[in-house]
Amino acid sequence: LMVGPPGTGKTLIAKAIASTLSAPIIITNGSAFLSTFLAIDVLVMLYMRLRAEGLAREFGRVVVFIDEAEMLLQRRGGMQSVQTQGTTRRVDSIWSIFDYDQNGCISPCGLMFDHSSAREAFWERKFPPRQQTAPQMIPFPFFGGAGGFSLAIFPFLVWLDGMDSPPLLSRLLRSKVNELLDVLFVPPYLHLGGATVYLRLPPARPPAHNIYFFAATNRPHLIDPAMRRPGRFGKTVVFTTPGEAEREDIAALYFSKVAHHPSLDDPEKRREFARVTVGLSPAEIEQVIRDAVNYRHDHIQRLKEIRAAVEAGRPLDRDSQKFWERYRHELEQPDWDKPWVTWDALMESLAAVRHGTAKPTRTTERNRERTAYHEFAGHFLPLRYFCGEWYRPIVLSIMPRGEALGMVAHVPIEEHDPQPQHVLEGLLRVSVGSIVAERLFFQDNEPGVSKDLENATRIAAAMVGLFGMVPRRCSAEERRRYLRIGESILSVANTHPLLPSESNGFVSSTLGSPRKREDVCVLLGQAFVDVYRLLRKNRDLAPPVVQELLAKDELVGRDLERLWDTLELQPLLAEDKAVWPEDEVAPENPFYRRVDGSQAQAAGSV
C-alpha cells in the first residue's frame, strides 16, 4: 500500500517496478469499481482478474496497480465513523487549526506558512472525504449501492486470500479417465518392491499466478482495516515530498528536457531553485519547469507587441506602460527573443502553481501601496524578528492572485522541529501585525484584517485551551492593559458556543471559560503591543521596501533572500516596555477638524 500526497511518485514507482521485472502492468482506478447498477462493479473486478491471470500465464508475472484505492478498499457499511452534529475534529498540531482557502492561504492578504503538515491539512480541506451519514438503500432491484461501499471488495478479497479452482477442462478430463479405469477394473494402486504405484490421475492442481498487487492512496484512514492486515496490503510504503537535495536532483532531470538559459546550469542557481520549491511534489516541480516555457513565450510575444506600439507612437495603458518600463532593458540583450526557460519565467510559473495566476488589473495604485505596507510591515517584519530562526520567506508580493491582493509565504527551516511556545507566540504576532501596521501607518484598518484576527484568536485559543500555555509574566497593571487591548481585537467570528463545528469547536470551548478567555485576550494584547513597539522603532525600514515592491510587484529568489539577510532591525530593549499603543488601539476621529480647517489627524500619512 503506497501512501502519500498526490504527485509524489506512487504511480511512477509502480511503472518502474513493472519495467524492472519486465512484466506487464494493469493500471486501474478505484472509482472504476463504483457502479450505479447492481453487480456491475463485481463484473469489472472479475474481468480485471481474468485479464491479469491471462497476462500472468503469458508473461510469467503481472503487476496490478490500483490508484485511489480508498474507493475500492473503503470501510464497509457500519464501520464508518459517522460524524454527528456538534462533534469536532481532533486538533493534533498548530497547522490543523487554520481555515485554508483553495490556494492554501490562511487569510485574504495571502499569508501562508508552507509547511508539510499545513499542506496535508490544506489538502483535506480542499478535497474533503465523503462522509457516510447513513447506509444507502437499494430502492430498485437493478440499482447498486451497499452501505456506501463497492461490492467488488468481496471478490477482490477472495482473489487475494483464496485459492483458484483447477481448470474445468483439466478436472473433467482427469475425472473421466479415472472413471474409465474404474470401469475396466484397473486397481487404484500396486505395490512393487516396497513401492506404491498409483494407477489413477492425481487431482488437478489450481494454477499459480505470479501477480503483484500495488494500491495507492492519499487517505489511508478511509481504508478498511481488514485490507491492511498481513497477507493482504500489510506492507505500507509512505511517500513524502522531497527534500532540498532531492528537489535539486529532480529539477536537473526536467531541466535536461527543455531548452533553458545557460545561467540555470549554475550550481548555485540550481540550489536556489531547490530552496524556493520547498514543499512541492515531483509532479509540481515538473509542471513549474514545463509551464515556464509557455510563460516565456507569452512574455516575448507581449514585449514584441508593446515595442511595436511604442515605435508606432500608439499610447499604452497603465499595465502595458509598467511592463514596458520593467522589461525594456531586455531588448538590449542579443538573445532577448529566444524562447528558452529563464529565471523570471520559472518564478512566474512557480507563483502560478503555488498561489494561482496573477491578476494585475484587480487593484488600484492606492490600494497597492496600502497592500505593500500591510504585507511588509504587518507580516514580513514581525516574522523576521519574532520567527527568523525558524522560518525563511519564499515570496513577498503585492500582485493579486486568487482571492488575495498580496502575499507573504514562508517555509520552515527545519520541518521536523516542534513548535515551542515562543514560536507560536511569533506566529501570533505575525497574524496580529497586519492591523498594527495599518493603524500605525494609516490610522485605521480595513476589513481585510478580519481573517488575520480570526487566525490570531485560533492560535491563542489553541495555546491556552489545547497546549496548556499561559501568557508571559507581567505586572497586574500591565496585564490589565494587555487584557483591554486583547479584548478589542478578539475575533468572535463563528465561535457561538452552541454551534461548534469541525474548525472552531476548541475556540468556542476555550472562550466559554472566563479564565481561559482572559488568558487568550492577554496573549492577543501582548502580541499587539510587541508588534507595535517593533514597527514604531523600525518604521523607517518600510518606505524603501514598499517602493521596491511597487516597482517590481514581487520579491522572490535572490532578491528576497538579500532583503531577508540584510534587513537590520533595531531590537526591542527593556526601555521599550514603557511605550504603549494608545492611539493605535483607539484611533482619533478623522471627521472632526481643527480651527484652521485641517483634519485632526491626517489619515494615510506615513
* pLDDT tens, position by position, 575-605: 888 888 877 677 777 777 666 655 554 444 4
DSSP one-letter string for 155-194? HHHHHHHS-PPPPHHHHHHHHHHHHHHHHTT--SEEEETT
In the predicted model, what is the mean pLDDT of residues 478-489? 92
Residue 174 has pLDDT above 70, yes or no: yes
User: Are residues 509 and 376 part of one domain?
Assistant: yes
Question: Phi first, then psi: what are they for 219, rounded to 5°?
Answer: -135, 70
* pLDDT tens, position by position, 9-53: 899 999 999 999 999 999 999 888 887 677 788 899 999 999 999
Give CA–CA dist 382/428, Å, rounded: 10
User: Are residues 377 and 293 part of one domain?
Assistant: no
Give CA–CA dist 444/459, Å, rounded: 24
User: Are residues 378 and 346 part of one domain?
Assistant: no
| pLDDT on residue 546 | 92
Q: Cα–Cα distances in Å, from 215 out to 72, 220, 232?
A: 10, 11, 11
Burial of 471 (0-12, 13-18, 19+ CB in 10 A): buried
| pLDDT on residue 603 | 40
Is the Cβ–Cβ distance between 567 and 555 less than 8 Å? Answer: no
* pLDDT tens, position by position, 379-432: 999 999 998 888 888 788 888 776 667 778 777 776 555 678 888 899 999 999
Asked if residue 27 is part of any domain, the answer here is no
Give CA–CA dist 72/280, Å, rounded: 28
What the block records as the C-alpha cell of 125 is 480541506
User: Are residues 327 and 377 part of one domain?
Assistant: no
User: Are residues 464 and 346 part of one domain?
Assistant: no
User: Are residues 393 and 303 part of one domain?
Assistant: no
pLDDT band at 86 (very low <50, low <70, confident <90, very high): very low
Tally of structural domains, the chain: 2
Least confident of 97-106, 454-463, 508-517: 97-106
User: Are residues 329 and 362 part of one domain?
Assistant: no
Q: What is the CATH number of the domain that holds 500?
A: 1.20.58.760
Give CA–CA dist 342/224, Å, rounded: 48
User: Are residues 423 and 326 part of one domain?
Assistant: no
Asked if residue 450 is part of any domain, the answer here is yes
Asked if residue 28 is part of any domain, the answer here is no
Domain final residue, candidates 338, 354, 370: 354
Give CA–CA dist 277/257, Å, rounded: 19
Asked if residue 457 is part of any domain, the answer here is yes
Give CA–CA dist 131/69, Å, rounded: 17
* pLDDT tens, position by position, 508-532: 888 888 999 999 999 999 999 999 9
Residues in a beta bridge with 237: 2
Is the Cβ–Cβ distance between 213 and 14 less than 8 Å? Answer: no
Residue 507 has pLDDT above 90, yes or no: no
The residue segments making up the domain with residue 408 are 356-585
Asked if residue 547 is part of any domain, the answer here is yes
Predicted model pTM: 0.70
User: Are residues 508 and 398 part of one domain?
Assistant: yes
